[in-house]
Amino acid sequence: MPIDLAIDFGTSKTVLLCSNKILLEQPTVATVDSETWEPVAFGEKARNMIGRLPEHLESVFPIQRGMIADYDIAEQMLTEYFSTSLGKRLIKPRIIIAMPSGATSIQRRSLENAAEIAGGRRVQVIDSGVAAALGMGIDFSKPGGKMIVDIGAGVTDIATLSAGGIVQCDSAPIGSNDFDEAIIKYVRKEFNVLIGSLTAEEIKKQIGSVVPRGVEVVIKAKGRNLFSGLPQLFEITSSDVYAAMKDTAMAIFSAINGVIERTPPDIVADIMCDKVYVTGGGALINGMGELLEENLNTEIYIRSDAEYSVVKGANAALKYPELIKNIDYQLKNIQDLIVDD
């Protein structure tokens, strides 16, 4: 029996969805042999090896800033993930895959080819902004502005929508991974300690915030002293982490503001009277809604399942292939597409 598969092939995570059921959710990382470039491990197993590899092995992130950075590894990763989630099938799955709106036609075709060679058929690409809007249940079929912000790991996709189409959009090369890099740099500068990306991510998850916390929180972390070269245990506060993260958060706001400045004023007025819809894993960082609400001076809406809005919207769009064929996304039946709460 033929199946349809929706894919969010993100910078940090890959999600495969079929009939509203998550078949696979794995990190978008591979461990490869440094000489032959042959994959040794994918997904969670490869993620656990980051920063812990011998010289003959290397961690590879095939998706950078939402685009394919290593085509061969991306293709082999999709092949592995298809096999893991679907097994061997006589009929290949029909696939829709989300990609940042700023992607060129060549980048889109490259992703389509990788998915086809990995085992898909009739592969189509949907803009992440449109997919996120559908996944959040936003009806943009009528005249009247809607705004969607998808804060991913490597890209923040921003789009204003109206009358079934994209009015303005941007794929800003900044995302939640940049918060990790900011924490690494801050710890190096202030504590003279070098930490890895996994430690930085854990600090972000535990006490990270893009607004000052009402109550100070302190955790202990481990790294390598830059001067002695020895392991060091240090304490870092939520105020420290806020200081590290605030510039990146404001860069995301600036990207959003840039799209608003290019959007017609009547549509901006509609957005301000409604709300700005924020999704993606970065939307769940503590204080993100509060920060954007204060700076944009409008209501912010974030769903608890923000990490899955894109793949859910892509899955909904599979019911209507014409959505992908029409570059303007003009739909009369968009109400049938949107995902209910």
Tens-place pLDDT, residues 151-168: 999 999 999 999 888 899
Q: Which of 194, 186, 283, 294 is nearest to 239 (CA)?
A: 186
For 258-271, give the DSSP string.
HHHHHS-HHHHHHH
Range list for CATH 3.30.420.40 in the chain: 4-128, 144-302
H or E element that contains 121? strand 121-127
Q: How many CA atoms lie within 13 A of 339 on its CB side?
A: 24
- Decide if 137 contacts 313 (C-beta within 8 A): no
Please tell me the pTM assigned to this model.
0.89
The architecture in CATH of the region 144-302 reads 2-Layer Sandwich (3.30)
Question: What's the confidence (pLDDT) of residue 2?
Answer: 60
pLDDT tens for 180-224 read 999 999 999 999 999 999 999 999 999 999 999 999 999 999 999
Distance CA 30, CA 39 (A): 7
The pair of structure tokens assigned to 94 is 């029909």
pLDDT of residue 91: 78
Report the pLDDT averaged over residues 238-266: 96
pLDDT at residue 209 in the model: 96
Asked whether residue 141 carries a pLDDT value surpassing 90, the answer given is: no
Each residue of 264-293: pLDDT tens digit? 999 999 999 999 999 999 999 999 999 999
Q: Is 168 in contact with 187 (CB distance < 8 Å)?
A: no
Mean per-residue pLDDT over the chain, rounded: 90
Q: What is the pLDDT of residue 104?
A: 86
Alpha carbon distances (Å) from 235 to 150, 244, 246, 270: 32, 15, 20, 46
Q: How far apart are CA 65 and CA 318, in angstroms?
A: 25
Q: Could you tell me whether strands 276-279 and 300-302 are parallel, antiparallel, or unpaired per DSSP bridges?
A: parallel
Rg of the chain (C-alpha set): 21
Examine the pLDDT at 330 and tell me if it is beyond 70. Answer: no
CA separation, residue 257 to residues 168, 177, 251 (Å): 12, 21, 10
Among 306, 325, 323, which residue's Cα sits nearest to residue 314?
Answer: 323
Q: Please state, in angstroms and as integers, the Cα–Cα distance from residue 152 to each residue in 9, 149, 198, 282, following that order.
A: 11, 9, 17, 6
Going by pLDDT thresholds of 50, 70 and 90, the confidence category of residue 86 is confident
CA distances from 283 to 199, 248, 334 (A): 20, 13, 25
Q: Name beta bridge partners: 297.
A: none
CATH number of 4-128: 3.30.420.40
> Is pLDDT at 336 greater than 80 in this prediction?
no
